[in-house]
Amino acid sequence: MKPQRIGIFGGTFDPPHVGHLILAAEAQDQLRLDRLLWVLTPDPPHKQNQRITPLEIRVRLLQAAIGDNRSFELCRVEMDRPGPHYAVDTVRILKDQVSSAEMFYLIGGDSLHDLPTWYQPQQLIELIDGLGVMRRPGDQVDLSELEQKIPGIALKIRFIEAPLLEISARQIRQRISEGRAYRYYVPPGVYQLIEELGVYHLPSSSVMRVKS
């Protein structure tokens, strides 16, 4: 039997939007993934001073976004352990759980530039079978320079071509707080839940917390 091919897609998903879904679908198609794990990050190390919606709300929003796709799975690997949560630790745990699978870690083209500054990037590259890079038009990276900093990375990179969508979670949160249209930026279930819970509509002290 061929080993399972598993994609790891991490983020705060605050909120999950159609851009996330399109990128995930392209990654699954182009990398021939059997499963795609959506790793919801409770406390991302690079967002320690930003407002983040409470985890229990983001869990419900993400479930609403991906629940109708059987190959998309909400992964609790970071929610069920204390932080800080680093990609290398997440991959190591998942590989221990499914040792026979091929693991593909998914990142955006902008994150590829910053990868040398991540925690233990060399160990991360050695652990994974492929690094799926969601490239957008205009993304440029010097692979030879990156290879010098993280030997072996060039052989692991798998570029994923995706449509250019100028949609971000931050933009959606701002539109909601300003009372502007946002309905078609998010999946229907996410829109209904945001409206039901009033999340992002109210002052930050009501539905969000400030990271200390």
Looking at residue 202, what DSSP letter applies? S
Distance CA 5, CA 130 (A): 10
pLDDT of residue 160: 92
Q: Can you give the pLDDT at residue 201?
A: 85
112: closest CA among 78, 72, 156? 156
Q: Per-residue confidence at 212, pLDDT binned at 50, 70, 90?
A: very low
CATH number, position 184: 3.40.50.620
Sheet with strand 157-161: strands edge to edge: 72-75, 35-40, 5-11, 102-108, 130-135, 157-161
Name the DSSP letter for residue 50: S
Residue 212 lies in a domain: no
- Work out how many domains the chain is built from and give that number: 1
Q: 181 in a domain, yes or no?
A: yes
pTM of the model: 0.89
* Cβ neighbours for 70, distance < 8 A, ≥ 6 positions apart: none
Please indicate, yes or no, if residue 211 is contained in any of the structural domains. no
For residues 137-157, average pLDDT? 88
Please say whether the beta carbons of 25 and 6 come within 8 A.
no
The model's pLDDT over 67-124, given as tens digits with 9 standing for 90+, comes to: 999 999 999 999 999 888 899 999 999 999 998 999 999 998 888 989 999 999 999 9
Confidence band of 63 (pLDDT split at 50, 70, 90): very high
Q: Smallest Cα–Cα separation from 51: which of 181, 151, 177?
A: 177
Euclidean distance between CA atoms 195 and 170, whole angstroms: 17
What letter would DSSP give residue 178? T
Categorize the per-residue pLDDT at 46 as very low, low, confident or very high, splitting at 50, 70 and 90.
low
Query: How does residue 48 score in pLDDT terms, banded at 50, 70 and 90?
Result: low
Domain membership of residue 27 as a residue range: 5-203
Q: 143: burial class by Cβ within 10 Å (0-12, 13-18, 19+)?
A: exposed
- Tell me, yes or no, whether 208 lies in a domain: no
pLDDT given for residue 138 in this prediction:
63
On the 0-12 / 13-18 / 19+ scale of CB atoms within 10 A, 147 is middle
Helices (H), the chain: 18-31, 55-66, 87-97, 109-114, 121-127, 143-149, 153-156, 169-177, 188-197, 204-207
162 and 138 Cβ atoms separated by less than 8 Å: no
Residue 210 inside a domain? The answer is no
pLDDT at 147: 96
How confident is the model over 50-55, as a mean pLDDT?
Answer: 88
**Both tokens assigned to 49:** 């001073």
